[in-house]
Structure 1
């Protein structure tokens, strides 16, 4: 059950990436990110309010948000900082890079998550998992070769490093999620981390973007911004629900969620008409092959 939920979350994440790319085209990054946090918070705010003032309405459902004190909220606040940092780097990188470059880089997150699980949680990789890790690393270097054909130098292009840093923070967030789901209610975590992100992002907009808004890329409204929040919230809800089930493994869930690259790669090719698809397909196949080995190794 938890594995099926992970695949569902991956499909939703793929559409989230597509709508994010569409919204960022020629648009100011920080306001788009700010609106994303606003709409995501508005999606979960009714559940928080109803659970507090009319708990009997939701108490027997998966949408109930139990009350929690500061001893819980401080952990959620830290998650908000990690996720918002990852988003900020990821949004800036995605704006300036082809989706068919960003997607496969993000697909290396399971490798980082596995390494983190190895170092932090004392997990040990078997032969299949090591093969998967090596395939993913090789695919990243091959991808850098594809990027140079588009004038993208992986070593000296700061947007590449933004995406890499976003992926690294995303892996940290995934490992932290495993810790949180073992201790706290999934709806408490998802609902409140969205609310905290809204306040954090509000401060960023007020002090960083607003004073310089007339000298940077102008913001324009795009209806895809709402779809970013809808698909992300749905993907995260299914993801947290998957991790909360008995027997779920963050290494496998993280890997499966990166298969969202299939959706983003397809739309990058068909809708955004991105370049050098033939060489990128080979790189993508290596990423997917690495995931398959990781999956086999994690289920035996």
Structure 2
């Protein structure tokens, strides 16, 4: 069941990436990110308030947010720092790079999560799962060759490094999620980390963006900004629920979630009309083969 939920989360993440790319086109990055944290918080705020003032209304549902003290919230605040840092690097990178480049790079994130899962949680992969991981690693190196055809040097392009840093922080966040889901309620974590991110982002906007807004890329409203929050919140809700299930492996869940590249790649080709698709399709096929072997390893292992 947890694996099917991971695939569902992957599909939702793919649409999240598409709406994010659309919203960032010729737009100021920080305000878009700030509005994303605002709308995400507004999605979960009602659940927090109802759970506190009328707990009987949500007590036996998946949306109940139990009360928690500082001993819990301090861990959630740390997650907010990690996620917001990853988002900041990722948003800037996505604005300046083709979606068909960013998606496959993000698809290699689970390899870093895998190493952490092996070292920290003692997870073990079978032969099929290792084949899936190797496919992901190979696809990254092939992607760097595709990027050169568009004048993107993986070693010297700062936006590539922004996306890579976002992926590293995302992997750290994934490992931390596994730790949190083993100790705390998933709705407590998801609802409150969104709220804390809003306050953190408010400080960033006030001190970094607002004073320089007139000399930087102007902000303009796009309705896709709301859809960023809706699809991200849905994807994370399914993801946290899956991680909280018995037997869920963060190394596998993280890898499957990167299957979102299929959705983002298709939209990058059809809607954004990105280039050099033939060579990138090979990279995508390798990612899909990796996903298949991971699924096979879970079924047969």
- Tell me what 1:58 maps to: 58
Q: Give the TM-score taking structure 2 as reference length.
A: 0.97
- Which position in structure 2 is the counterpart of 1:111? 111
Aligned-pair CA distance for 1:151? 0.8
Equivalent runs, 1:183-222 vs 2, <5 Å: 183-222=183-222
Structure 2 contact 123–249 (Cα < 8 Å) conserved = no
User: Any idea what the Cα deviations from partners look like across 1:199-223, whole Å, max 9, x if unmatched?
Assistant: 0000111111111111110000000
- In 2, Cα distance between equivalents of 1:8 and 1:290: 17
Cα distance in 2, alignment partners of residues 185 and 133 from structure 1 = 30
Q: In the alignment, is residue 172 of structure 1 matched against residue 172 of structure 2?
A: yes
Q: Secondary structure at the match of 2:215?
A: coil
Structure 2: unaligned runs, 5 residues or longer: none
Secondary structure of the 2:122 match is coil
Secondary structure (helix, strand or coil) at the match of 1:213 reads: helix
TM-score (norm 1): 0.97
Q: Map Cα deviations across residues 175-232 of structure 1 (whole Å, 9 max, x no partner).
A: 1111101100010000000000000000111111111111110000000000000000
User: 2:252 corresponds to which residue?
Assistant: 252
In the TM superposition, residue 141 of structure 1 has moved relative to its aligned partner by 1.1
Looking at structure 2, the residues matched to 168 and 297 of structure 1 have their Cα atoms a distance apart, in angstroms, of 25
- Show the counterpart of 1:48: 48
Matching of residues 123-162 of structure 1 within 5 Å: 123-162=123-162
What value does the CA root-mean-square deviation take over the aligned residues? Answer: 1.1
* C-alpha distance in 2 between matches for 1:85 and 1:119: 24
Alpha-carbon distance, 1:298 to partner: 4.5
The alpha-carbon deviation at position 8 of structure 1 amounts to 1.0
Could you list the runs of 5+ residues in structure 1 that have no partner in the other structure?
Answer: none
Cα deviation for residue 127 of structure 1 reads: 3.2
Other-structure match for 2:86: 86
* 2: CA distance, partners of 1:251 / 1:298: 11
Residue of structure 2 in register with 1:34 after alignment: 34
SS at match of 1:26: coil
Contact 2:83 2:170 in 1 (8 A): yes
Q: Deviations over 1:138-161 (max 9, x none)?
A: 211110111111111100000001
Give the number of equivalent residue pairs.
Answer: 300
